Amino acid sequence: MAAIVTNNFRISNAQQWVNQVSDDRYGSHYLFVGRPQPFALHTGGGSDQIPPHPVDNEDTNYMVWRDMIAARFIGESDVSVAVARHDWQRDVPYDYYRSDYGSVVNGAPVTTLNGNWDMFETNSAMYVKAKHNVYKCLWNNYGAQSIEEPSGNSVKEFTTSDGYVWKFMYSISATDDIRFVTSDFHAVHVDEDVKAAAVDGAISQYHIANKGRGYEDGDYLDQPLVGDGEGGTFNLVVKNNEVYSIEASIVGSGYSYAYLNIDDIVGIGTPQTSAWITAIIPPPGGHGFDPTKELGGFYAIANTILAGEEGEGDFVVDQEFRRIGLMKDPYDYGTTNLATSDTLNALKSMTFHVGFSEYWPNDERIVGSTSGATALISHFSINTGNLKYIQPQWSGEINLDGLDHDPKVSEADFIIGESVTSESGATGVVRTVQPPEVEYYSGSILYIENRAPIVRSADQTENIKLIIEF
């Protein structure tokens, strides 16, 4: 059975996900950071230099919860459908829009300049960084190098001095440029003026696949286009007994297919070899009507900005994180109520009675003298005596052979009144024990990304962008 999952399916999924995040009727979504402790062979594999690839199974879901630091709510202003980014550069040939990539025309498959069949593997959509504008190439002058940067925001197609034909699609605001533009992707928007000016089924471009041989030289003007639309005409020039050029004289409208029978043009003669010319059918609605579909919007960007001790300390500083991700519908701790807070602390914590040690190094292992509970330090405040910690899958206790023979952290909770000791000898007597703000293992983990460590500090801001491909 021959079948494909179409790009439209992927685009629809991306758009639906963005719509769901933007509408609280579909639940709550959070972007989280975690994994303060280093990656290592005995703690799940990989290293800080080469982070391990996440495994999609239930064990991973549990482990992600156990070393989560904090989460930030994301809503409509934090997500956008996105497309692949291609910056315009001088002296580079660019692909142009065609409706028939992958089809066989004149005995050969239609391919991009790089030999691909997928329209969205082309570099036909250009991002001009200086202007924050996005353009679509409609004609590349037979693969010539582009030497003039497209500019302006006219709703009409325009031709540059190098013979390229461009279509302005939309601009990206300065705010969205910060939030939804990366080195490889950028947000996609609809320019309402461009959309209003789009003409469904208008044929403005043609491709000469075979020039033919044996025609009568001359200019053949306003020849009717045959198809299911109306009003389309073209001008054809024959030189040296072969088709030299073709251009639209009237673009018409309503075409979903069109063909040109050059041999039937009055006065053109009987050729030895017939020409083959393709009318380039625009996307539904016309160029610029639906940039998401036209440019391959099957990506989504989720963005959040963390400044210092965001969430009144929920996002701890002077600590690292190595994991970012997305989750849906987590509960408030100890309930089955969907979390709605702007930030959620995912760390457990304790405070000490007076007389505690002043130095509790991050990532050190601590042990409760009575409970036997073990944990890894995530953050300690000398001012409040508050120690935040995680109880991950692995304790970090290594034997001489370099392997963790008893990897499980004790499931026990720390007990008020017991003494807690760190690996370096810090001690304190537990005064209070506080749970996280979010119920572990609730909701669904949607996305996990392991990365090199990012160190947080009080005077630092992190602009976190997740790219999701559908």
Question: What pLDDT, on a 0 to 100 scale, did the predictor assign at position 366?
Answer: 94
Same domain for 337 and 445?
Answer: yes
Question: What pLDDT, on a 0 to 100 scale, did the predictor assign at position 410?
Answer: 58
**Residue 363 counted as domain residue:** yes
DSSP code per residue over 250-262: E--B--S-EE--G
**Residue 99 counted as domain residue:** no
**Residue 443 counted as domain residue:** yes
Contact between 73 and 28 (Cβ < 8 Å) = yes
Give the number of C-alpha atoms closer than 13 A to the C-alpha of residue 226, restricted to the C-beta side. Answer: 8
**Residue 28 counted as domain residue:** yes
Same domain for 334 and 451?
Answer: yes
Residue whose tokens read 């017991």: 418
Q: What are phi and psi of 62, to 5 degrees?
A: -65, -45
Same domain for 429 and 366?
Answer: yes
Burial class (CB in 10 A: 0-12, 13-18, 19+), 337: exposed
Question: What pLDDT, on a 0 to 100 scale, did the predictor assign at position 402?
Answer: 44
Secondary structure of residue 215 in the 3-state scheme: coil
Spatial CA neighbour of 235 closest among 217, 215, 250:
250
Which of these three, 279, 304, 331, is where a domain ends?
279
Same domain for 49 and 75?
Answer: yes
Which CATH number covers residue 326?
A: 2.60.340.10
Residue whose tokens read 């330090």: 377
Which of these three, 252, 279, 306, is where a domain ends?
279
What is the identity of the amino acid at 77?
Answer: S
Question: What pLDDT, on a 0 to 100 scale, did the predictor assign at position 399?
Answer: 42
Secondary structure of residue 352 in the 3-state scheme: strand
Same domain for 356 and 223?
Answer: no
Secondary structure of residue 160 in the 3-state scheme: coil
Question: What pLDDT, on a 0 to 100 scale, did the predictor assign at position 411?
Answer: 65
Same domain for 274 and 302?
Answer: no
**Residue 260 counted as domain residue:** yes
Contact between 104 and 117 (Cβ < 8 Å) = no
Pair of tokens at residue 182 = 């990366």
**Residue 419 counted as domain residue:** yes
Within 308-400, strands assigned E span 319-328, 343-345, 348-352, 365-368, 374-381, 386-390
Spatial distance between the Cα atoms of 298 and 370, rounded to a whole number of angstroms = 54
Same domain for 388 and 257?
Answer: no
Within 382-426, strands assigned E span 386-390, 419-422
Question: What pLDDT, on a 0 to 100 scale, did the predictor assign at position 408?
Answer: 52
DSSP code per residue over 436-452: -SB-TT-SEEEEEEEEE
Contact between 128 and 135 (Cβ < 8 Å) = yes
DSSP code per residue over 124-140: -EEEETTTTEEEEEEE-
Residue whose tokens read 């001095």: 161
Sign of the Cα pseudo-torsion (198, 200, 201, 202, in order): negative
Helices (H), 81-198: 174-179, 192-197
Contact between 242 and 234 (Cβ < 8 Å) = no
Residue ranges for the chain with pLDDT beneath 50: 396-407
Contact between 68 and 392 (Cβ < 8 Å) = no
Spatial distance between the Cα atoms of 51 and 53, rounded to a whole number of angstroms = 7
Beta-bridge partner residues of 100 = none
What is the identity of the amino acid at 109?
Answer: P
Same domain for 401 and 427?
Answer: yes
Pair of tokens at residue 31 = 């972007």
Same domain for 300 and 340?
Answer: yes
Pair of tokens at residue 414 = 């720390």
**Residue 450 counted as domain residue:** yes
DSSP code per residue over 229-276: SBS-EEEEEEETTEEEEEEEEE--B--S-EE--GGGSTTS---SB--E
Pair of tokens at residue 67 = 């070393």
Spatial distance between the Cα atoms of 271 and 278, rounded to a whole number of angstroms = 18
**Residue 24 counted as domain residue:** yes
Sign of the Cα pseudo-torsion (89, 93, 96, 101, in order): negative
* H or E element that contains 74: strand 68-74
Same domain for 341 and 442?
Answer: yes
Same domain for 247 and 395?
Answer: no
Spatial CA neighbour of 468 closest among 445, 443, 448:
448
pLDDT digits (tens, 9 = 90+) for 158-172: 999 999 999 999 999
Contact between 161 and 147 (Cβ < 8 Å) = yes
Same domain for 223 and 326?
Answer: no
Helices (H), 110-249: 174-179, 192-197
Pair of tokens at residue 383 = 């001012």
Domain with 31 in it: 1-82+182-189+293-346+437-470
Question: What pLDDT, on a 0 to 100 scale, did the predictor assign at position 405?
Answer: 43
Spatial CA neighbour of 438 closest among 343, 309, 355, 358:
343
pLDDT digits (tens, 9 = 90+) for 384-433: 899 999 998 765 444 434 444 444 555 689 999 999 999 999 999 999 99
User: How many domains are there within the chain?
Assistant: 3
